[in-house]
Structure 1
Amino acid sequence: MKQQPRADERRPANDGPKAAARNRAALVAAAREVYAESGLDAPLSAVARRAGVGQGVLYRHFPDRAAVATAVLEENVRQIEQAAAAEGATLADVLGVMTWHLTESAAFIGLMHADGAGSRSGIRAHALALSERVERGLRGHLPDGYRLGGANDLMLAVAMVSGAVTGPTREEREQRALAAWRLLGIEVGPVRPFEG
């Protein structure tokens, strides 16, 4: 027999849409972490566990693996676009935000190599569109005559740096990315997420 709650007991509030938004944000953050540690082939159950939700919640927000990767990539690109649109932003500032995403997200590294990104997961066209958005954000801060101003030079440099982002820890990956930018003679601002 089920006991009814007493009048002085309160049931937990059902946050409805607020909980859904929180769960989605937690899933994207968890996916970024899990992908950084284990790559894009990490089990989705690990993403749900890291986010503190059940797999059913994950699948309510994301029907498949490609949708999870796309959400992580969208968030990465959105932060770079916000950094690029911030008042007084410089190329170094935007590169700092982009470099943070490179060191945090294996999925984002794949995006910077969009020719191969998503070929097995069905998100190739979307990855190319996201890569173009990153390029627009960066290109908008290139001074006239800048060394990376050529047609493909900017994204080639980004791809070269992203290829250097290896190592078991975030700190090692960041050091390698910054060393690669230095070798290219490019100044990078503080490596951090965009906090607008």
Structure 2
Amino acid sequence: MKKFTLLIFFAMIATIGFGQESFYDFTVKNIEGQDFSLSSLKGKKVLVVNTASKCGLTPQYEALQALYKQYGGLNFTIIGFPANNFLGQEPGSDDEIQEFCQRNYGVSFPMMSKISVKGSDMAPIYQWLTQKSKNGVMDSEVGWNFQKYLIDENGQLVDFFSPKTKPDDPKIVNWITGKAN
């Protein structure tokens, strides 16, 4: 009987993802270099995007800012992670990136410190976003700048969208607003 009880216990643990990290378990640095606990976003839907200032997709900052302006607030936010992983398209310092985003696109959504989103020096938050063994949902690979990850109000990965998917794509907007796709 004890073996059966233990078997049930371990099956329950496996089912609920015991030990599984959530988005909220991470603390990152914001673009000013201060700690930013992702647990401060509990209860919000979050769009996570890796950004770059010298990319053909850089104009997506405009649509990201419009999305944030329209839906950002109590139940939704966007977090930008500058990264220099693709053809050196984000060579600037955090100060230069912040100034660029503010001057050219009026970015007011939270921007984080520059990180790596792929390779051997991949930031822990991106390891979680891209590895099913860590997020419990799916594997993915960051294909280019402006790939988008959707995190639900409980800190769980929901889906991701390719870099070419525009921030105001109906599937993303419907997810934010809770409308069926």
Instruction: Say which structure is richer in strand.
Output: 2
TM bucket, shorter chain:
under 0.3
Instruction: Say which structure is richer in helix.
Output: 1
Relative to the length of structure 2, the TM-score reads 0.25
**Structure of higher CA gyration radius:** 1
Query: Taking CA–CA contacts closer than 8 Å with sequence separation of 6 or more, which of the two structures ends up with the larger relative contact order?
Result: 2
Relative to the length of structure 1, the TM-score reads 0.24
